[in-house]
Amino acid sequence: MWESRVRFKWQVSAERKSSHNRVSAMWRWYFLMLLTGHVGPITGYSDGEVSIACGDMVPQHGHEPSPDPPPYNITVDKSTYSPGDNITVYLQVASSYRTFFKGFLIEARDAGKLTFSAVGSFILTDPLESQLLLCGHTQGSGVSHKTSTKKTHIQAVWVAPQDPPQRVRFLVTVVHEYKVYWVRIPGPVVSLRGATAAPPTTVYAPTTSPRATAALSTPFSSLGCSHNKSCLRDPAGCHPDSDPHCFFLSFITDQEESSVMFELSGPAEGYMSFALSLDKWMGNDDVYLCVNDGGRVTISAAHVTGRTHPELETQEDLWGQAWRVADGVIQCRFQRNILLPRLENRFSLNRSYFLFLAHGRSQQGLIHRHDQQPLISTTRKKINGHPEDLCGSRSPLLIKFHGVLMLTAWMWTVSTGVLIARHYKHLWPDTTLLGQRLWFQRAGSHPYIGCTVMALSVIQPIMAIFRPAPESPRRFIFSWMHFAAGTVCQILAAVCVFLGVAQQALLLPSPWSPAVLIGWLLWIVLADLLLLIHSYTHRSRGNRNSDDKENILFAQSEKQQRGEISKVKRVVLLVFLAGNTGFLAAFIKAIISV
């Protein structure tokens, strides 16, 4: 303890001596300029000794501040404080920009008296890049740069004074180049615990990692997608800062091209995650998780082998970790090196991968299986490559083909086959195909609609082969069984359609999909009712008899009058087929767009 105090006093003495020498040198230079008649503006200090600017926070560069919006964020890890508390303050390049800064000055002031002197003091976390200043009456009440190297982020710890104001606002001046700078950029406001002033509605906090370098006070933005950074979004083109249903992943390479910063956002109850994969199937992937654990978010890396639970990897290679939870949306940010040669299961970011974006529930920090089919990028993407606005889909191509084929069988083939078999077989009593009557050919298409429906479809022609003769007293048993099997087959087909469009692998838009399916069912019922009414009206002209023999005679009579009847039924059939085709086409278009 004694040694640290001596070192601190020596450091303060050295800093004061250095400051005194610089001031003396400045006056000698100014006096020399007066004697020679050359007086110009005072230049800025590249080594950060800018105590002279503590008051108005304006660099002595002889130029006006930039009128453009500043491409920087100043954020904190707490929204309230007590006397003596520590608050970590972060200055970072905004995520939508690929830029840097060379100089900076950070101060904390009474939010109600911003023209007064700085309050509190700072503790350095990176003495190689930053230094303390005497702003006002307190040593260390300001933080500035120590060198003019290009920077993308910096942090310091603010210590609240023993007699603090009720609300404190952080201000920052940032210098990009000598002629390009921004003055007194307003940062977040923190409130004294127990004060009447309301704290901010959302809290942003970094992880406890010693390499944490950033936190946000605003949601992620899609600005810069395809220009400064690569983005993967669902729905396509959505904006995470304004759309609470937007799933968003972005990544940007730093200026030195040695690391990549990732941003992940989406509505989720438990966690958001993304993975780098060599193919479009889960397994042997490099995974990154942002898990909501009791209001705090844990950011971690993991590896997946097959369809097993992710196995956590070392977290030492992740830094710049920050998170945000607000309105059911989880957002997290981190940075990692492009190359990690000592870690076997971690992928290098200078290669191309498919990107998976998933979310799901968690309990006490443990994640469950994702709630929805992951969003998968359409093509591979080189992570540190040229910025792109990527496209993705939650439905693999094989699943889309399956959906199209099954909907064609269920929506079009089954409903059409049942309608024809029920209302049109008497129009073609003698027409044959492959030696069988025409309506019996429909059985061959039924097996495509699923195991249960396939079984019923096979039973139907078997029942027809062993059907009793028309005059047999057991014929009515066959008729009812045949009718029941066909009706159950059609009902199950409709149920399968409703279940199919809601499958995780083919999640069609809701409530559009159920509404269209209900319309399709009503369309089938309407066509069936029209044909039933037409048949009933026609049959009522003659004597009705339940005897099979009379039915055969009636069928022959109907054949003679087929010219008149077939016109109505043909029109109904053509309209029905057109409507069925329209419903099927609508669903196929929806499947293609998923």
* H runs (alpha helix) in 346-412: 397-407
Question: How many whole angstroms separate alpha carbon 210 and alpha carbon 153?
Answer: 15
Output b/e per residue, 476-501; b: 16+ Cβ within 10 A: eeeeeebeebbeebbebbbebbeebb
Quick one: average pLDDT of 529-553? 64
Pairing verdict, β 180-192 and 80-81: parallel
Same domain flag for 125 and 79: yes
Question: How many whole angstroms separate alpha carbon 502 and alpha carbon 275?
Answer: 25
Q: Whats the size of the chain, residue-wise?
A: 594
Domain boundary among 123, 158, 192: 192
Same domain flag for 161 and 130: yes
| Residue 527 domain flag | yes
CATH number of the domain at 340, please. 2.60.40.1210
> Looking at the DSSP assignment, which residues form a beta bridge with residue 325?
330
Q: CB 87: neighbour CB atoms within 10 A?
A: 21
**CA geometry: angle at 333 spanning 327 and 335, to 5°?**
175
Average pLDDT value over all residues in the chain: 76
How many domains does the chain fold into? 3
Same domain flag for 129 and 85: yes
| Residue 342 domain flag | yes
| Residue 11 domain flag | no
| Residue 433 domain flag | no
pLDDT digits (tens, 9 = 90+) for 223-278: 889 888 999 999 888 999 889 899 999 999 987 788 899 999 999 988 999 999 99
Same domain flag for 332 and 379: yes
Same domain flag for 230 and 139: no
| Residue whose entry in the numeric block shows the structure tokens 């105590």 | 51
The confidence score (pLDDT) of residue 443 equals 35
Same domain flag for 420 and 562: yes
Same domain flag for 389 and 401: no
Pairing verdict, β 259-267 and 247-253: antiparallel
The confidence score (pLDDT) of residue 460 equals 58
Same domain flag for 186 and 260: no
Residue 461 token pair? 């022609």
Question: How many whole angstroms separate alpha carbon 190 and alpha carbon 111?
Answer: 9
Q: CB 397: neighbour CB atoms within 10 A?
A: 10
Helix and strand numbers, DSSP H then E, in the chain: 8, 28
The confidence score (pLDDT) of residue 546 equals 47
Contact by Cβ (8 Å): 355, 249: yes
Quick one: average pLDDT of 111-137? 88
Domain boundary among 192, 226, 246: 192
The confidence score (pLDDT) of residue 249 equals 96
The parent domain of residue 146 ranges over 51-192
Single-letter amino acid code for the residue at 350: N
Residue 282 token pair? 């889960």
Output b/e per residue, 528-556; b: 16+ Cβ within 10 A: bebbeeebeeeeeeeeeeeebeebeebee
Least confident of 198-202, 371-375, 412-416: 198-202
| Residue 312 domain flag | yes
**CA geometry: angle at 507 spanning 505 and 512, to 5°?**
165
Question: How many whole angstroms separate alpha carbon 545 and alpha carbon 532?
Answer: 17
Helix (H, G, I), strand (E, B) or coil at 152: coil
Same domain flag for 388 and 401: no
pLDDT digits (tens, 9 = 90+) for 422-446: 777 666 656 655 555 554 544 333 3
Same domain flag for 132 and 179: yes
Which of 59-73, 101-115, 210-224, 452-466 is the most confident on average?
101-115
CATH number of the domain at 77, please. 2.60.40.4060
Same domain flag for 245 and 139: no
> Looking at the DSSP assignment, which residues form a beta bridge with residue 80?
191
Query: What DSSP character marks residue 178?
Result: T
Q: CB 318: neighbour CB atoms within 10 A?
A: 21
Question: How many whole angstroms separate alpha carbon 352 and alpha carbon 277?
Answer: 9
Residue 363 token pair? 């309990």
| Residue 16 domain flag | no
Residue 358 token pair? 């998933």
| Residue 362 domain flag | yes
| Residue 413 domain flag | yes
Contact by Cβ (8 Å): 410, 494: yes
Same domain flag for 271 and 152: no
pLDDT digits (tens, 9 = 90+) for 342-374: 777 789 999 999 999 999 988 766 788 877 788
